[in-house]
């Protein structure tokens, strides 16, 4: 069958579930993943065909998409900050908003020829996307990453190996941690922050397939992870150390208030590409704690 003919069938069968633009995006993601073909290749070679075996593979993927299983889980891979990451349902699928957080950290910490070796800690690392991207782009840094999930850490370790970076991974429940044991220059976290009352806003493909442990917090204490991590940062950030969070878009003011109460300085919120309050940065001055 001609690929362009299969594409029409593919779009037709999924258009009642997804936007047509999203379905086309799925098609080209799969085309590149399975056949190393890009949109331009198909446009320049309209006579390209799928074999029967290839059609069978595509039909299996099609059925999973009908169940709204995320395309990243179906293919087992995704791209983040121009790096390849394996993902499964033990880890969250990295988002573009989190890439923005990594960009912010890198812009504030340009690479220099200094022998200084900054220590960076990523709390709740999941797939390792933040820690690994920072290690790749700040090669003189010593990067550490914590997660409570043994399965998530297994995925993160594999991703670090694939991307040829060294990250020291630690299995630990941050809510039960009293001390991080050493000083860090940068602490970053994208902790669970979606309240149960916001579940109605979550797409089915996220709600049904991504790990709830990494997504949701109790409505009555939505800042539990931020409070705990900020408390640890007071003790375990070096002088002028930086703390970065990805945050719930509805709780920006509450986050500023929390960090002010804990005597952090230079507090700054940034919006994501969609115009939502999505990340926050602050600095610790030990003399003012």
Per-residue pLDDT of the chain (289 residues; tens, 9 = 90+): 999 999 999 999 999 999 999 999 999 999 999 999 999 998 888 899 999 999 999 999 999 999 999 999 999 999 999 999 999 989 999 999 999 999 999 999 887 666 578 999 999 999 999 999 999 999 999 999 999 999 999 999 999 999 999 999 999 999 999 999 899 999 999 999 888 888 778 877 787 887 888 888 888 899 999 999 999 999 999 999 999 999 999 999 999 999 999 999 999 999 999 999 999 999 998 666 5
Q: 205: alpha, beta or left, given left = phi > 0 and alpha = psi -120 to 50?
A: alpha
How many angstroms separate the CA atoms of 28 and 69, rounded? 17
pTM above 0.95, yes or no: no
Instruction: Output the pLDDT for position 101.
Output: 97
Instruction: Output the pLDDT for position 113.
Output: 60
How many angstroms separate the CA atoms of 190 and 33, rounded? 28
Q: How far is CA 276 from CA 102, 182, 271, in A?
A: 17, 34, 5
Instruction: Output the pLDDT for position 206.
Output: 80
């Amino acid at each position: 069958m001609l690929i362009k003919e299969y594409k029409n069938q593919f779009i037709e069968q999924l258009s009642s579930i997804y936007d047509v633009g999203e379905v086309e995006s799925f098609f080209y993601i799969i085309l590149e993943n399975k056949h190393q073909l890009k949109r331009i290749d198909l446009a320049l070679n309209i006579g390209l065909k799928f074999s029967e075996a290839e059609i069978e593979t595509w039909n299996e993927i099609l059925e999973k998409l009908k169940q709204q299983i995320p395309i990243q889980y179906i293919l087992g891979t995704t791209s983040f900050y121009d790096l390849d990451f394996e993902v499964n349902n033990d880890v969250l699928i990295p988002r573009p908003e989190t890439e923005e957080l990594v960009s912010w950290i890198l812009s504030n910490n340009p690479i220099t020829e200094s022998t200084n070796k900054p220590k960076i800690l990523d709390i709740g690392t999941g797939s390792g996307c933040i820690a690994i991207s920072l290690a790749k782009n700040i090669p003189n840094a010593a990067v550490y990453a914590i997660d409570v999930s043994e399965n998530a850490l297994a995925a993160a370790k594999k991703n670090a190996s694939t991307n040829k970076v060294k990250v020291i991974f630690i299995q630990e429940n941050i809510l039960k941690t009293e001390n991080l044991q050493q000083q860090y220059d940068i602490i970053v976290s994208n902790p669970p922050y979606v309240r149960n009352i916001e579940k109605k806003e979550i797409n089915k493909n996220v709600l049904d397939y991504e790990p709830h442990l990494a997504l949701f917090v109790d409505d009555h204490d939505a800042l539990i992870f931020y409070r705990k991590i900020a408390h640890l940062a007071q003790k375990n950030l070096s002088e002028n150390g930086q703390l970065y969070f990805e945050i719930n878009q509805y709780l920006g003011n509450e986050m500023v208030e929390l960090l002010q109460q804990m005597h952090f300085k230079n507090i700054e919120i940034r919006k994501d590409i969609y115009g939502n309050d999505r990340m926050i940065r602050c600095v610790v001055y030990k003399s003012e704690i």
